[in-house]
Amino acid sequence: MSRSHWLDEIKWDDKGLVPAIAQDYQTGQVLMMAWMNRESLMLTEQEQRAVYWSRSRARLWRKGEESGHVQKLYSVQLDCDADVILLKVEQVGGIACHTGRPHCFFRRLLNGEWKENVAVAKDPKEIYNHD
């Protein structure tokens, strides 16, 4: 059996992607959701850090490549339908979201409106170099 056989068990969408949820391995906090293709998932397993497929940039994206906020891999899990990946990670620097927050789920629906309920931990202008 080939080393990449486990990739064949995943139900990839028509673009060759699968949604991936990153979760803090210690607290269980859902940090973010991103997309993975075969190569990014294989690299994630090989490098033991989260590597995603950026749909907007149409290229591989190593989480933290610009910000330094790498996601160290603890485990990869596949859901019952084989169409969603769960990455249990250590979020280096404590910031997973490009908005400078600990996670991407910082808006809560209250009385028919989205309300921010998580403060910015670090100004994104201090995280990303936008020369």
pLDDT single digits (tens) 113-125: 999 999 998 888 8
Largest CA distance in the chain: 54
Distance (Å, whole) CA 116 – CA 8:
39
Query: pLDDT value at position 131?
Result: 46
Query: pLDDT value at position 1?
Result: 47
Q: Looking at the whole model, is its pTM more than 0.75?
A: yes
The encoded tokens of residue 24 equal 């803090």
In 3D space, the residue among 30, 32, 14 whose CA is nearest the CA of residue 83 turns out to be 14
The encoded tokens of residue 35 equal 């997309």
Query: pLDDT value at position 3?
Result: 56
Region 5-94: CATH code: 3.10.20.810
Which segments in the chain show pLDDT lower than 70? 1-4, 129-131
Residue with tokens 């908005």: 99
